[in-house]
Amino acid sequence: MLQDIQKDAQQRMQKSFESLEVNFAKIRTGRAHPSILDSVMVDYYGSDVPLSQVANIGLEDARTLTVQPWEYPMVAKVEKAIMMSDLGVNPNTNGSLIRIPMPPLTEERRRDLTKVARNDAEQARVAIRNVRRDANSDIKALLKEKEITEDEARGAEDAIQKITDEVVKRVDALLAEKEASLMEV
């Protein structure tokens, strides 16, 4: 019973951490990376699909992405979808190949992105603490119903706290890494 609570708490905390990783992948660092285009949806014969399902995304150099649609009629739709996304990039089309140069980040924009990253990390910490609170309230409910002893409850709460500390430490490390890559020129 206590193991189930701990396992559930650990899984939910891990999901919060993975969500933070996804959010950090969307914050661009000035370097070109194919994951920047993960959120771009393209109209493919009436339905919206991710860009990666209609085109090959690659790197030309450190600051340029290439997008090669698999079907020639999709070139204009892919280019329009990239322009309509809120990525702040301007695609250049050359036949069937779309090049996306990544503009260098200004110092002010780097600071803004760092603030966004810190906010995302704080949201993840709050979510992790909420999971800890839920797990501890489940443990207290078991104690109140006399299904476990006080020592078992205290031990379970300590275990939940250790899991929480470990995941928060990983969030802090991920944030430090993201801040370093954002401030790198």
* Segment among 7-11, 29-33, 95-99, 153-157 with least mean pLDDT: 29-33
What's the rounded Cα separation, in Å, for the pair 12 and 131?
7
What is the pLDDT of the chain when averaged over all its residues? 87
Biggest CA-to-CA distance, the chain: 73
Within 64-146, residue ranges assigned H as helices are 74-84, 107-144
- Domains belonging to the chain, first-starting first, are 2-26+106-183 (1.10.132.20), 34-101 (3.30.1360.40)
53-100 pLDDT per residue, tens:
889 998 888 788 899 998 888 888 888 888 887 777 788 888 889 998
Tokens coding 24: 């950090």
Query: What pLDDT, on the 0 to 100 scale, is given for residue 180?
Result: 87
Query: What pLDDT, on the 0 to 100 scale, is given for residue 185?
Result: 64
Greatest mean pLDDT range, 30-34, 66-70, 180-184: 66-70
Residue 7, number of CB atoms within 10 A of its CB: 11
Give yes or no for residue 176 having a pLDDT over 90: yes
pTM here is 0.70
- 24: confidence class by pLDDT, cuts 50, 70, 90: confident
- 30: confidence class by pLDDT, cuts 50, 70, 90: low
